[in-house]
Amino acid sequence: MSEAERLFEKFGREFPKGTVIFREGDAGNEMYVIQSGKVNITKKARDVEKVLVTLGPGAFFGEMAIINQKPRSASAVVLEDARLLVIGPKTFDAMIRGNSEIAVRMIKILAQRLQEADEQIENLMLRDHNSRVVHLLTHLAAKGRHVPGGILVEVDPGTLAQKVGLEAQQVSEVLSKLLRARLVREQDGALLIYDVNRLREFLEFLEMKEKFGDI
């Protein structure tokens, strides 16, 4: 039996697609580690359910309820059938105290999440929906895959709408503008950004327009 199988036998549970693992505001004292499948972490903003991040195998979530003993700050919904390790407070404490590598990895991931939260707050402060979509695309490009012709960002319009807290129709309108301007192109269920520097310049133009209006 492999190490992953032994861990699942001891701590594992299976969650079918669509399962709400916990909701924002719930009490909780367990964290989760994804062995397989995907989980969306979502938060409600202005009556819109916004996807903060989509997590896959190897990622963990829900740890803040153990660390600060406060209600869940976001919701977790299974995007694809998942096998999760469910870790309680005592096991979590033993893991952190007994393995410095786990502790350092967790600190790095929490720091990364804090940076992503700052970027999301910055995005939500933009009033213009064009700016929100372009702002997010410039940040996603930094994590995108370089391919012939540009940078491929693995995001579809529906997920994009959830991430920026807009209606799908609003995002479609923005993408249509970007397509006409030859800044992006839809490709295999993802978006190809031709030149991220041109996209940043367009974002600067939108921000100036939002600040000063049409002259």
Of 127, 129, 150, 145, nearest in space to 198 by CA = 150
- Checking if the pLDDT of 214 tops 60, the result is no
The three-state secondary structure class of 107 is helix
CB neighbourhood size of 25 (10 A): 11
Percentages (nearest 5) of helix, strand, coil residues in the chain: 45, 30, 25
Please state the domain extents for the chain: 3-124, 129-212
Cα separation, 177 vs 136, in Å, equals 16
- Checking if the pLDDT of 78 tops 90, the result is yes
Average pLDDT for the chain: 83
CA R_g for the chain: 20
Q: Taking residues 193-212, report their average pLDDT.
A: 81
For the segment(s) 129-212, the CATH number from 3.40.50.20, 3.90.920.20, 1.10.10.10, 1.10.1200.10 is 1.10.10.10
158-168 confidence digits (pLDDT tens) = 778 877 777 88
Yes or no: is domain 3-124 CATH 2.60.120.10? yes
Of 67, 64, 68, nearest in space to 22 by CA = 64
Q: Taking residues 67-89, report their average pLDDT.
A: 91
5-55 confidence digits (pLDDT tens) = 888 888 899 999 999 999 999 988 899 999 999 999 988 766 667 788 889
Q: Which ranges of 3-99 does DSSP label H, i.e. alpha helix?
A: 3-11, 64-68, 89-98
pLDDT for 5 equals: 84
Contact call for residues 123 and 130 (beta carbons, < 8 A): no
- Checking if the pLDDT of 115 tops 80, the result is no
What does pTM read for this prediction?
Answer: 0.59
The three-state secondary structure class of 211 is helix
pLDDT for 149 equals: 87
Q: Which ranges of 35-188 does DSSP label H, i.e. alpha helix?
A: 64-68, 89-98, 100-124, 129-141, 157-164, 168-180
Share of the chain above pLDDT 90, in %: 20
Q: Taking residues 180-196, report their average pLDDT.
A: 87
Please list the residues that pair with 34 across neighbouring strands.
Answer: 84
123-173 confidence digits (pLDDT tens) = 565 667 788 888 888 888 888 888 888 898 888 787 788 777 778 888 888
Please list the residues that pair with 147 across neighbouring strands.
Answer: 150
- Checking if the pLDDT of 75 tops 90, the result is yes
pLDDT for 70 equals: 85
